[in-house]
Structure 1
Amino acid sequence: MHFYGKEEGIRIDLDYGQLDISGDEAFGFRPFQLMIASIAGCSASVFRKILKKQRIDIEDLQVTADVERNSDVANRIEKISLHFIIKGYHLDDDKLYKNLEVARKNCSMVRSVEDSITIEESLETIELSR
């Protein structure tokens, strides 16, 4: 990865597109936003792959992230609470929680920060009828 300095932050050109990073949202994504997005995105995509392999029929998967930061220590991220909202058919909460545990063990972003940031996961199911 090669980053380029710009007046109000840095830029990287990736295969998918250009990414601007800055401490000021007017000039790019803030680093903490990218960290939270990486953790939530990795966790959700691994979880979805596991559900697909097990042929669990879902219509929609959403994730919300609540973040606790420590303003006394450089605004350090202390805790991330990920809440998964799953819409689908014949959903089994126990099986979904077990799959969420497997996803956690296989998400490289969660594993990279698990010794320094507390990550909690919860889920909510919305049963659809056909």
Structure 2
Amino acid sequence: MEFKMKPDVGFFTEVDFGRLDVAGDEQYGFRPYQLLVSSVAVCSGGVLRKVLEKMRMDIKDIHILADAERVEEEANRVSKITVHFRIAGNNLDEKKIEKAMVLTRKNCSMVQSVAGSIEIEETFEIVQ
């Protein structure tokens, strides 16, 4: 990826999907920590979806709630990311989903990339 400086604030890159603007100020683009949290949450969600499908679970929807805790005294670094999955489907088995969550953590490249640096907490609930 190649990032170019914008005249006002931040940087941008062009990818196949389109332009990605990144800046420390939300008025000019996505904030870097938002992209970090999004990467962890959506990577986990995608892996979870595949694992549940391989387990032949009838998934209708996965809604992800993600939040970050930051340490102001340490350059405002992200210390913890909380990811909560709200899973809807037919005849969902809580025990199978618990097993899927373990596999998801192990196979999500973004979670594994930050392991040891950022605490990742993943939870789920079954919704109708």
In the superposition, the TM-score normalised over structure 1's length comes to 0.94
Report the counterpart of residue 4 of structure 1 in structure 2: 4
Identical residues among aligned pairs (%)? 49
SS at match of 2:34: helix
CA RMSD of aligned residues (A): 0.8
**Whole-angstrom distance in 1 between the partners of 2:44 and 2:72:** 26
- Deviation by residue 1:20-41 (Cα, 9 ceiling, x = unmatched): 0000000000000000000001
Alignment of 1:74-93 (within 5 A): 74-93=75-94
SS at match of 1:116: coil
**Whole-angstrom distance in 1 between the partners of 2:37 and 2:96:** 26
Match status 1:40 vs 2:41: yes
CA contact (8 A) 2:24 2:31 kept: yes
SS at match of 2:25: coil
SS at match of 1:98: helix
Give the aligned residue type for 1:6. Answer: K
Q: Which runs of 4+ in 1 moved over 6 A?
A: none
**Whole-angstrom distance in 1 between the partners of 2:102 and 2:66:** 17
Alignment of 1:1-130 (within 5 A): 1-7=1-7, 8-127=9-128
In the superposition, the TM-score normalised over structure 2's length comes to 0.96
Give the aligned residue type for 1:32. Answer: Y
Deviation at 1:89, TM superposition (A): 0.9
The alignment covers a number of residue pairs equal to 127
CA contact (8 A) 2:3 2:11 kept: yes
**Whole-angstrom distance in 1 between the partners of 2:33 and 2:109:** 17
**Whole-angstrom distance in 2 between the partners of 1:83 and 1:73:** 26
Return 5+ residue gaps in structure 2 as ranges: none
